[in-house]
Chain A
Amino acid sequence: MRTLNLDMKNPGLKEEIENDGGYITGCIQCGACMSICPVAISGFEFPNKRLFKLIILELEREVLEHRSPWICISCQRCVHVCPRNVNPHSIYFALRRYQSKQFRHPRIFEDIVRSIYQYGFVIEPDNSKRRELNLPDIKLGKEELDEIRMLMEDSRLRILGII
């Protein structure tokens, strides 16, 4: 626990999250999204109620440090239970983009992105295990891989220097 200094605010944060992820000021801190979130239930630290309040208070530094948006598994249960029509899921994703832009995402995601750029998959495909199980090899054709790479090169990932 540490004291939050509300003077250290960045009004741009809330504006950008709101433009990208939908309206967040409607959040009344009921915590319904947390009650049903499978990640939170399974014991991960996932206090999205706190995260939302930090966005409302425009505390950029705290929000940028927060790792929980990256745990979201996109099940969308939070969207269904929110009594205020806030879309927590889209806000997590807006937050991911916001953190990436500031280069504050978890490092492991850079490896994942590089892996996708290189192989077209999240991890390097290991076909030896598949052959033992009589499964066909996984391999992207050069054409498909080039398309993925073209899309990625076109994005901000290149500007950020991740790929």
Chain B
Amino acid sequence: MKKGIFICHCGTNISERVNVEHLKSVLESEGYLVRDHLFLCSQDAKQLILNFQDEVDGFVIAACSSENHENYFSSFIRKPFVIINLREQCSWPHADRKHATKKAEDLIRAGINKLPYIKKPKTVKTKMEESVAVIGGGIAGITASIELAKLGYRVYIIEKSPSIGGKLLKFDKIYPLNDCASCVISSLISEVSAAENIQIHVYTEVEEVSGYPGNFRLRLRRKQTYVDWEKCTGCGKCIDACPDRAKVPSEFDDGLTFRKAMYIYSPFAYPKKAVHDPEACVNCGKKKIGTRRMLRSGKEYQTPCEKACPTGAIDRSKNWNPEGEIFEIRAGSILLAMGYEVMSKNSFPEFPSHLPNVVTGIQMERILSPTGPTGGELLVPETLRKPEAISFISCVGSRDERYHTYCSKVCCMYMLKQARLIKERNPEIDVFIHYIDIRAPGRDLEEYYTLARKLGIKILRGRVGNVEPLNNGKLRILGFDSDTGDPVEYTADMVVLATAVELRESERDVARKMKLDIDSSGFVKEKHPKLQTFETSIDGIYLAGCVQGPKDVTETVLQAKSAALSVSSFLGKGEREINIETFIDVEKCTGCGMCIISCPFRAITAENDIPEINPISCRNCGICYSVCPVKAVDMATHGKAIEKELEGLKA
């Protein structure tokens, strides 16, 4: 059997460390057909390989990782072939040329040994659902849903808060044009609400994800609200009736104000329906949740909120059901657009975060917003007086080895935006921004920054080391300005901490339920950092927005639309070809059942002790191969062939 060995130089990526000439002469002397090329992935190299297609029985391609180019090579190589990774596994990690050349030779010999044992995997076709589950109803989820609905797919938006719209609704203005944030998103919300093939499930969480690419099943839990949303008109009378003592910090105002146990999520809420929070409820009217109270007249007693509701939508006699309402949807593809959270301000010992005058960026956003706690007027949270000086501190928790090493990307710009809004409305207020680096690399963003400087915003390079509360309620800032080279200090009325953008643990859990990877920064990992930035390691699951890493609105929308396109190209064919590598030799099988209990995807079932692999659930992980005591399981390229490859390495 004649074997063809093709060695790639990969420019100098491989040839710099591996002596290709030496390899060639050694292998040629042993009777193999050896060729090398500067770039095996080029068109003339393809011709070179094709020329030998009939002369040899199999190819060893010694090049880069199979993830990179296996699909390309398999598109024209019809003989069995093995890809040996000389780049990532040999030349890149080794500095010593002699050592690397020896290792390259070993790897190639292992490949030669593997070649005869390679089998062709079976392929199976399955039909796909023509629907998409979009998890997260923020700007990313909404834009993607609109695009997908336009393409004709059925879309389910799954949002865990009682209203869609996400973080964008909390903002007053957005850069670079300082246009109204709620106007940007409310037109999209009305588009989503009018679209026939978009179904919105708010106040709903993902419980479980099962199925396989093209046919996912999502078990969802709609949390109990005690309000019949079919009847609720969003008039808000129940909120007036709810007593003031049933107060908890408002989610929409990020804890700056309080909401009652009966509440409508935000002034922009869609759907505009009331929600009852049983944890905040004080059981006024002496009626516990889930009980009935009869009056002497025989009529049923009604609590203030029940009484206030003109449509009779509220029923607190219903038992509290922690499960809520469980229902299932089927979707061909899943788009994760779960957004972000800013880090809590309480994690930093150098800043007195317990003080109400120290706020996070999102809280400042609410203070500036006309729908916020002060009606858009800039007031200090503690005293409700107009501030004289405000200090912004960037990179709080980001670019910090103690918390998060990554740059949160949007803080520089939103600090500049908030500083500009303050300065434009109140030129007499002193605004200081402390930065480590200003990063403003988007369209029109540098110009935005220049304008902020021209407005007289004092931008100081250097981080703040300490913020001290003073007796008069003000704050003393101790920082450094590396432009003058001196420490600086001053008093401010308010400190805004631009805390890091991060993914919530609950969101990470949803990703884990789908067996997606979480990267070291805590975000959901994409498939490839350059080429597949919104695909995940699982086909059919895509990412949009901050779930993958910090992003601004522009990038989020861009990614959401790209992801929508990918979803449609994935689902567009209607059916999917699946490669099945694993198969069980029934003759050898003793029916011990080890493979069945070890399969993490529950792909193996047995009837009358004859195991069978469900091709749709199988992910070719190889665990069944490794546990089978009698070696009845084999895999096309990753079973016996790998063993032979290792044997070749030892030889």
- A→B interface (CB under 8 Å): 1-7, 9, 14, 23, 25-29, 49-50, 53-54, 56-57, 84
Contacts and interface: CB of A to CB of B under 8 A. Distances in A.
Nearest to B452: A25
A25 B483 CA distance: 14
Interface in B441-479: 450, 453-456, 458, 460-461
Contact of A26 (B453, B483, B486): B453
A53 B484 contact: yes
A2 B481 CA distance: 11
Interface residues of B, number: 20
Given A14-B456, A57-B458, A6 B488 contact: yes
20 contacts: A1-B485, A3-B487, A4-B486, A4-B487, A4-B489, A5-B490, A6-B458, A25-B454, A25-B456, A26-B453, A28-B450, A28-B453, A29-B483, A50-B484, A50-B485, A53-B484, A56-B458, A57-B458, A57-B481, A57-B488
Contacts of B481: 4, 53, 57
B283 interface: no
Interface string B488-511: 111100000000000000000000
A27 B454 CA distance: 9
Given A4-B481, A53-B481, A23 B454 contact: yes
B153 interface: no
| Nearest 6 interchain pairs by C-beta | A6-B490, A53-B483, A3-B487, A29-B483, A4-B488, A50-B484
Most chain A beta carbons < 10 A, residue from B454, B456, B484, B486: B484
Contacts of A1: 485-487
Most chain A beta carbons < 10 A, residue from B454, B456, B461: B456
Interface of B: 430, 432, 450, 453-456, 458, 460-461, 481, 483-491
Nearest to A49: B483
A3 B486 contact: yes
Given A5-B490, A26-B450, A29-B483, 12 more contacts: A3-B488, A6-B488, A6-B490, A26-B454, A28-B450, A49-B483, A50-B484, A53-B484, A57-B460, A57-B484, A57-B488, A84-B450
A73 to B, nearest CB: 24
A4 B450 contact: no
A128 B82 CA distance: 98
- The binding surface of chain A is classed by DSSP as loop
B451 to A, nearest CB: 10
Contact of B484 (A9, A54, A84): A54
A5 B477 CA distance: 10
A5 B460 CA distance: 13
B453 A25 contact: yes
Nearest to B388: A7
A3 B456 CA distance: 22
Nearest to A28: B453
Contacts of A57: 458, 460, 481, 484, 488
A7 B490 contact: yes
B489 A5 contact: yes
Contacts of B460: 57
A84 B304 CA distance: 65
Nearest to B438: A28
B489 A3 contact: yes
Nearest to B457: A25
Contacts of A56: 458
A49 B458 CA distance: 15
B35 to A, nearest CB: 53
Contacts of A50: 483-485
Most chain A beta carbons < 10 A, residue from B486, B487, B488, B489: B486
A143 B27 CA distance: 102
A26 B459 CA distance: 11
B486 A2 contact: yes
Nearest to A1: B486
A50 B450 CA distance: 19
Contacts of A49: 483
Contacts of B461: 29
Contacts of A23: 454
Contacts of A5: 488-490
B507 to A, nearest CB: 38
A7 B492 CA distance: 9
A56 B452 CA distance: 13
B491 A7 contact: yes
Nearest to B428: A11
Contacts of A84: 450
B506 to A, nearest CB: 41
Contacts of A14: 456
Nearest to A7: B490
Contacts of A9: 430
A54 B488 CA distance: 11
Contacts of B491: 7
A2 B484 CA distance: 10
B416 to A, nearest CB: 13
A140 to B, nearest CB: 45
A4 B456 contact: no
Contacts of A3: 486-489
